[in-house]
Every structure is written in C-alpha cells, then in structure tokens.
C-alpha cells in the first residue's frame, strides 16, 4: 500500500531530517507513529499523503512512484487516503454536514447518497445531532470527530491521523482511538502519529518510532484499556 | 457535481465587481456604436460627394462644356444648375434675397460620375481646359479627402479604445479572481489535500463569479442601449454635419455580441487565473 525504501528528506537546502526510512504499510494494518515533538512525524505523514516528495530514496503509494508522480495523477490517489490534520482544517463558513460531505462531493457522488453516508458517519462518531451546526459551535473534541468523519466518509484505503488526541482529554482520546480500531476492523489501514505514549500503551498495535530522523519498528503495547 | 461554497466575499467587493463589469460593457458598446456611426457617416459622405463633381464656367461656354463632358467616359449625367436653384442654395448663407438676386453668378454644371468606372479628374480637367478655356473642374477631393480621413481615423480610434477596454476588463477580472483566491487560500489547500483537481477548483471559482458577472453585463448592456437610443432620437439637433445618426440591424447584432463576449471573457479569465494560481498551491 505504502512503501518507503531508504527514503531521506530535507526541506530546501536545510539538513536532512529523515534518514534512510524503510518501512511498509500493508492493507488492513494499524500503526502508531511515535516520537518526540519535532521528530519528523508530520513530515513522514505528509509524504504518505503526497504533500511532500522524498529528496532521496523510493516511496511508493498505492503502487505509484511518488518521486515521479505527475501532479494530475495526485487527486485520484489522494482520494484513497483519509487525512486527519492536527489542526482539523474544518471550514468554519460551512456546516458540519457540508464539511464531512466534501470528499464525497469531490468524488462526484449523488446528493442522495451523500446525505445517507454523511448522516450515517456523523452518527457513528456520535455527532448525529450537529449536522447543521458550524464547527465553531463545537468543542475541540467534537471538531476532532468531525475531522475524523470527513477523513473516513469516502472509505479510504488508508487513514493517516496527525496527533488526533492532542487537543482532547484522556477519555475522549481513548474513544477516538476506539473509533479508529472499528474502522481498522472494516479493512482500512491506519497510521496515527502521536507523542502520547501513555495512551497508546493501552493498545496492542505496532509502533514506528522516529528518533533523530531514524525510524525504528517497535512491538505494540499491552492492549489493556 | 455539487458546488463547494467558498468563503463569501464582502458585499462591497461584489458590488464593485458588478459596477466595473457593467461600466466596461457599457463603454465597450458605446465605443463600438460610435465607430459604427462614423463608418456610416464615412460611407454616406463618400457616396454623396465623390460621385458628384462640379464644373464652373460661363453662360456663353455652357453648351461647349456640356458637350465636352457628355463625350467623356465614366460620366453618367450632366445637368446645368438653373440660376434660380443656385440662388436658393445661397439664400441661407447670405440671408438677403435682394443681394442674392443681384449677385453675378457663374454657370455651374452638376456632373454625375459612374462609381464603378470614374474618369480621372486630372485628365478631365485637361480636356476641359483644351475645349473650354476658363472652365474649372471641382471634384471636391481637396476637402472630402480630409473629412474621410478624419472619419476613418475616428473609426480606427474607436476600435482601439474598444480593444483597450476589453484588455482593461480582462486585467480587472484577473485581479478580482486573484483576490478571491487569496482570501480562500486555506480552502484551496484543503480541497487539494482531499483530492480536488486544479480544474475542479477553477470551475468552482468560475461558477462563483457567474452571477455577479451576469448582473454586471446586463446592467451595462441596458445602460448602453438607453444612451444609444436617446442619442439616436436627439441626433439631428445634437450633432450637426451628420444628417442622420442610425445603426443598421447588423450593427445592433454586433453590439449584442459585446455583453455575450464580455460574459465569456470574464468566465474564461476567471477560470484561467484560478487554474494558474491553484496549480501553484500545494
């Protein structure tokens, strides 16, 4: 699904911040991407999301060589990737419904199907009664769940989440991770970047730990919640 | 595909957009109407003056002059202007019937020229000089050429001004589209990240600009049509020298294309500008 082979990355002419990354994200897998703040987690996620290209090495996303990928081929690939941004990136001038409906509208779905899918996904994240609210009217945790709903509504092959529990308390953080597990059971591969080690210790999924630009694969936590 | 609502612009910004589009369309139509009018004036003068020459002679030489003229190829009619008719023509200039009656007048011969095969004025003048010494040929060329040149220049300037208006309109529309894109930069980056193509984003901006453009174009067209009809109705007293200010059906058809062209121009420029800028955003 996503394959890194000796990938290195630097911003412009700055120092290399990711070194010799080699890892494979398989369909249906679940990974936590951990590391201290500034370790390069967001950069690695952005490379998976095609927002950044490797400065060396080989990166393949859904079988496409990202280094040689033409701009016109990116939209179709991006529609197969769900992304939960650290800052949510919800559009404040649109309702919760319209925010979540964006990926479906971009994919050209019929309005009847959009209404059904968006209503269903918002109920799944526990926000079925906020369809017409604007994001500003919601709490941080609710906005996070709207962002998750938008990322998964088009049933992507892989979901990337950047610090999805960063702005919510422990209980809501756990609830969000449970949502991701449910989604994973339906076949979506999950990669969650987080520095909240205490939270992920409760989940048994594999960890990819970034340390000083190097990626190390670690075994999962105990899985007690 | 359903529309993606971008951030609303300020109402004043939208009103400015409508105003600029309307003024550009109105100015464009008026300038083209002016150019068309000048073309008709040019044609009318050309026909009225260049196919009529005048020969001035004396009453004694009138018959000889007419004989010389009627045997010249390219002349389809010769008529000695009666003295009474000449006095009638002079009346508005002299304002004195008694003076006009006493004024010694030359004999004028009105010569009708074949438009398709006109004779050479120089050759005819030589022929007249040989046959009737003292006869003078006036082909009106000395002053009609200047008038026609002025009319042609006016028409050319009108078309150049129209092109300048179209260019200014295109640049203004592009600047407006850039402003709208700058306001919605975050939305565009998000749409890209969700899988939107640059063409889709450009199409959304085009659709967003459509309503304001239509309102501006229609307003400008109505304004220009009102001005043209008002000028046509008041033309004879308002514009001396031009006997009749009028537009042919073909002119109206061309003028009707201006708003349509302006609408297409606005939509295309908006799309191209949005597409170009969207391509530069991640």
Higher pLDDT, A103 or B238: A103
Contact B4 A76 (CB under 8 A): no
pLDDT value at B239 more than 60: no
Residue B1 pLDDT grade (very low, low, confident, very high; cuts 50, 70, 90): very low
pLDDT value at A91 more than 60: yes
Q: Hey, of A46, A84, A91, A94, which one would you mutate to test binding to chain B, going by the most B CBs within 10 A of its CB? A: A91
pLDDT value at B176 more than 90: no
Which position has the token pair 């109105």? Answer: B26
Q: Which residues of A touch B (CB under 8 A)?
A: 49, 51, 71-72, 75-79, 83, 85, 89, 91, 93-94, 98, 102-103, 105-108, 111, 114, 150
CB B173 within 8 A of CB B265: yes
Q: In this structure, what token pair is assigned to residue A17?
A: 């911040």
User: In 3-state terms, what secondary structure has residue A92?
Assistant: coil
CA-CA distance, B192 to B170, in Å (whole number)?
27
What pLDDT is stored for residue A119 in this prediction?
93
Q: Hey, of B183, B192, B193, B276, which one would you mutate to test binding to chain A, going by the most A CBs within 10 A of its CB? A: B193
Q: What is the mean pLDDT of residues B96-106?
A: 72
Q: Give the sign of the dihedral formed by CA A187, CA A188, CA A189, CA A193.
A: negative
CA-CA distance, A104 to B209, in Å (whole number)?
24
Contact A94 B5 (CB under 8 A): yes
What pLDDT is stored for residue A113 in this prediction?
93
| Helix H or strand E segment including B8 | none
What does the pLDDT look like over B59-85, one tens digit per residue?
Answer: 888 888 888 888 888 888 889 888 888
Percent of all residues in chain B with a pLDDT value above 70, rounded to a whole number = 87
CA-CA distance, B138 to B140, in Å (whole number)?
5
Contact B194 A51 (CB under 8 A): no
Question: Could you tell me how many CB contacts below 8 A there are between chain A and chain B?
Answer: 53
CA-CA distance, A45 to A39, in Å (whole number)?
12
Q: What is the DSSP letter of A62?
A: T
C-alpha separations of A120 from A17, A97, A113, A163 in Å: 41, 11, 11, 25
Contact B2 A83 (CB under 8 A): no
Contact B196 A106 (CB under 8 A): yes
The nearest alpha carbon in chain A to B188 belongs to: A91
What pLDDT is stored for residue A222 in this prediction?
55
Q: What is the mean pLDDT of residues B23-46?
A: 84
What does the pLDDT look like over A39-51, one tens digit per residue?
Answer: 888 999 999 999 8
What pLDDT is stored for residue B217 in this prediction?
92
pLDDT value at B236 more than 60: no
Say how far residue A54 (Cα) sits from the centre of its chain: 19
Contacts of B196 in chain A (CB under 8 A): 75, 106
Residue B240 pLDDT grade (very low, low, confident, very high; cuts 50, 70, 90): very low
Residue A82 pLDDT grade (very low, low, confident, very high; cuts 50, 70, 90): very high
What pLDDT is stored for residue B238 in this prediction?
44
């Amino acid at each position: 699904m996503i394959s890194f082979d000796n990938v290195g990355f630097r911003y412009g002419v700055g120092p290399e911040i990711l070194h010799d990354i080699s890892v494979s994200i398989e369909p249906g897998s679940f990974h936590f991407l951990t590391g201290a703040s500034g370790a390069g987690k967001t950069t690695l996620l952005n490379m998976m999301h095609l927002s950044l290209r490797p400065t060396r090495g080989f990166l393949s996303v859904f079988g496409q060589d990202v280094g040689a990928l033409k701009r016109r081929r990116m939209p179709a690939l991006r529609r197969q990737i769900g992304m939960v941004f650290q800052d949510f990136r919800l559009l404040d001038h649109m309702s919760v419904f319209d925010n979540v409906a964006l990926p479906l509208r971009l994919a050209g779905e019929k309005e009847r199907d959009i209404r059904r899918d968006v209503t269903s996904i918002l109920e799944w994240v526990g926000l079925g009664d906020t369809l017409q609210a604007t994001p500003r009217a919601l709490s941080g945790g609710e906005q996070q769940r709207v962002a998750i709903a938008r990322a998964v509504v088009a049933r992507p092959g892989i979901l990337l989440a950047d610090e999805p529990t960063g702005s919510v308390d422990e209980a809501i953080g756990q609830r969000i991770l449970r949502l991701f597990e449910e989604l994973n059971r339906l076949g979506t591969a999950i990669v969650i970047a987080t520095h909240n080690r205490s939270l992920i210790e409760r989940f048994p999924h594999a960890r990819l730990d970034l340390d000083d630009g190097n990626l190390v694969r670690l075994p999962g936590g105990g899985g007690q919640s | 595909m359903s529309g993606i609502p971008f951030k609303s612009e300020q109402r004043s910004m939208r009103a400015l957009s409508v105003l600029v589009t309307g003024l550009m369309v109105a100015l464009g139509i008026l300038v083209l109407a002016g150019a068309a009018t000048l073309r008709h004036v040019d044609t009318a003068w050309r026909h009225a003056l260049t196919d009529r020459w005048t020969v001035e002679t004396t009453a004694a030489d009138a018959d000889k002059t007419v004989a010389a003229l009627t045997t010249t190829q390219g002349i389809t009619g010769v008529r000695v202007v009666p003295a009474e008719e000449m006095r009638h023509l002079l009346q508005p200039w002299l304002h004195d019937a008694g003076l006009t009656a006493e004024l010694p007048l030359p004999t004028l011969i009105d010569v009708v020229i074949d438009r398709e095969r006109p004779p050479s004025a120089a050759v005819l003048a030589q022929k007249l000089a040989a046959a009737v010494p003292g006869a003078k040929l006036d082909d009106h060329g000395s002053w009609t050429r200047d008038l026609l040149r002025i009319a042609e220049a006016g028409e050319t300037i009108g078309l150049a001004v129209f092109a300048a208006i179209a260019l200014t309109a295109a640049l203004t529309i592009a600047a407006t589209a850039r402003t709208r894109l700058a306001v919605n930069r975050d939305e565009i980056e998000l749409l890209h990240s969700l899988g939107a193509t640059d063409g889709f984003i450009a199409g959304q901006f085009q659709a967003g600009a459509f309503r304001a453009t239509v309102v501006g174009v229609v307003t400008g067209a109505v304004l220009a049509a009102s001005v043209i009809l008002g000028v046509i109705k008041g033309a004879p007293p308002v514009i001396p020298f031009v006997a009749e200010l009028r537009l042919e059906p073909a002119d109206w058809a061309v003028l009707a294309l201006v708003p349509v062209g302006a609408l297409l121009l606005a939509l295309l420029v908006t799309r191209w500008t949005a597409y170009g800028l969207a391509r530069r955003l991640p």
